[in-house]
């Protein structure tokens, strides 16, 4: 039996090889490797695909968050409300600009930030709320927007996993103050290296971000602000532009795979991430809760099935965070999820036969959560 990886990038490449080779070849012939036309063309195509006002390509999804916080002048003394049930970069970006992350618990069914939890964490120092559309599932944006507006806060959406996800009929990013994306190779839209993007409504913020990611340039050798180097490579721009036309189809395939998993697994008592009404996930990960998680993971891995955990250690329990937290945090839902969640293989290239093999192997060992 051949193994089934969590994400089958080799098969994706086999399906689009000529297109990708041509895109890369063009950049090699041009010998212009930083930003330039390929990155501008991709940013415009991504903006149009989302229906957003502005899109700026950058070096990765972590730097995308950092540059947004800098563009809004968020730094030392400021608090940003976010979640602990996420990838480390969400919180790391807040720390890297000198601001203080305030982590709140998530909803047990959707695994995402609740407006009430966000509001309860607001203090006079709060400047922004940063929810994460985790596993591609849009958060309660109406609720979070209301909290942000009421307290005069920025709502910054970490959409690193939510390419083309929809909330009440609108693509994530099209109605956002600011949303950040990652094109890490394993994401729904993946580069051949590191890359990211910022999508925003406001032209002044877009212009500031454009300059911050390129040394605060006003001309070739003139700088009117201190920025950094967070630019996107031309090769990544070309790769992403060539892949973008396939994204909606890959997401549709992900959706069908998730339906296949749910049809077979939910009647047997297993709980996967709940989708609130009016929300269309990008289905970045298929995450399901099991009682005997470590045993299930070991059995699947031994059978050549690339199951994983996203994420096994909540951010507030990471060693790096201990000196930074004034007192130990208790986030019971987050901690409970971290003990029970397992991610099963999911991507645009997985076959029905492979999904059925994963389901059979899973049902052989996994037990639904009982306590």
Task: Using CB under 6 A, list all residues that contact ligand PLP.
Answer: 60-62, 86-87, 89-90, 132, 158, 160-161, 182, 184, 194, 196
Q: Which of 266, 261, 274, 267 is nearest to 109 (CA)?
A: 274
**Closer residue to ligand PLP, CB minimum distance, 86 or 174:** 86
CB 97 within 8 A of CB 233: no
Of 196 and 227, the one with the shorter C-beta distance to ligand PLP is: 196
For the CB of residue 357, give the shortest distance to ligand PLP in the complex, in Å.
27
DSSP 151: H
Residues 6+ apart with CB under 8 A from 300: 307, 342, 344, 358, 361, 362, 365
Query: Closest distance between ligand PLP and the C-beta of residue 236, in Å?
Result: 11
CB of 221 to ligand PLP, least distance (A): 29
Q: Taking the complex as a whole, how short is the minimal distance between the CB of residue 37 and ligand PLP, in angstroms?
A: 23
Write down the least CB distance from residue 327 to ligand PLP, Å: 26
Q: Name which of 60 and 126 has its Cβ closer to ligand PLP.
A: 60
Closest approach of ligand PLP to the CB of residue 194, in Å:
6
Closer to ligand PLP by Cβ: residue 61 or 308: 61
- Any long-range contacts for 212-215 (C-beta under 8 Å, 24+ apart)? 212/67, 212/70, 212/71, 213/56, 213/58, 213/59, 213/63, 213/67, 214/35
With CB atoms as reference, the residue minimizing the distance to ligand PLP is 61
Residue 271 to residue 368: CA distance in whole angstroms: 8
Taking the C-alpha atoms of residue 364 and residue 285, their distance in angstroms, rounded to an integer, is 21
Q: How far apart are CA 260 and CA 331, in angstroms?
A: 32
186/306 with CB nearer ligand PLP: 186
Closer to ligand PLP at the Cβ: 80 or 160?
160
């Amino acid at each position: 039996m051949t193994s089934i990886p969590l994400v089958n990038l080799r098969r994706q490449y086999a399906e689009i090889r000529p297109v990708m080779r041509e895109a890369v070849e063009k950049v090699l012939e041009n010998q212009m490797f930083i930003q330039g036309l390929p990155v501008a063309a991709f940013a415009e195509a991504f903006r149009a695909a989302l229906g957003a006002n502005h899109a700026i390509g950058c070096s990765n999804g972590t730097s995308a968050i950092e540059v947004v916080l800098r563009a809004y002048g968020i730094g030392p003394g400021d608090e940003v409300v976010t979640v602990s049930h996420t990838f480390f970069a969400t919180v790391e970006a807040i720390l890297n600009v000198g601001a203080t992350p305030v982590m709140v618990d998530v909803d047990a069914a959707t695994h995402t930030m609740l407006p009430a939890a966000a509001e309860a964490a607001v203090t006079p120092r709060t400047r922004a709320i940063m929810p994460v559309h985790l596993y591609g599932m849009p958060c309660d944006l109406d609720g979070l927007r209301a909290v942000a507006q009421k307290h005069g806060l920025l709502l910054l959406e970490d959409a690193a996993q939510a390419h083309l996800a929809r909330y009440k009929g609108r693509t994530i990013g099209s109605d956002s103050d600011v949303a950040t994306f990652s094109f890490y190779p394993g994401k729904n839209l993946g580069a051949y290296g590191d890359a990211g993007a910022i999508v925003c409504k406001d032209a002044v913020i877009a212009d500031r971000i454009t300059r911050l990611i390129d040394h605060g340039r006003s001309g070739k050798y003139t700088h009117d602000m201190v920025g950094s180097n967070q630019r996107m490579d031309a090769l990544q721009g070309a790769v992403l532009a060539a892949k973008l036309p396939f994204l909606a189809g890959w997401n549709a395939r992900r959706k069908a795979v998730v339906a296949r998993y749910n049809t077979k697994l939910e009647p047997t008592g297993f709980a996967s991430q709940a989708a609130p009404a009016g929300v269309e996930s990008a289905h970045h990960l298929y995450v399901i809760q099991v009682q005997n998680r470590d045993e299930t993971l070991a059995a699947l891995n031994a059978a050549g099935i690339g199951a994983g955990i996203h994420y096994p250690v909540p951010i507030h329990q990471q060693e790096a965070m201990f000196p930074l937290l004034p007192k130990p945090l208790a986030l019971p839902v987050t901690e409970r999820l971290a003990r029970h969640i397992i991610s099963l293989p999911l991507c645009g290239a997985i076959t029905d036969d492979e999904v059925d093999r994963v389901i059979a192997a899973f049902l052989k060992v996994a037990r639904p959560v009982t306590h």
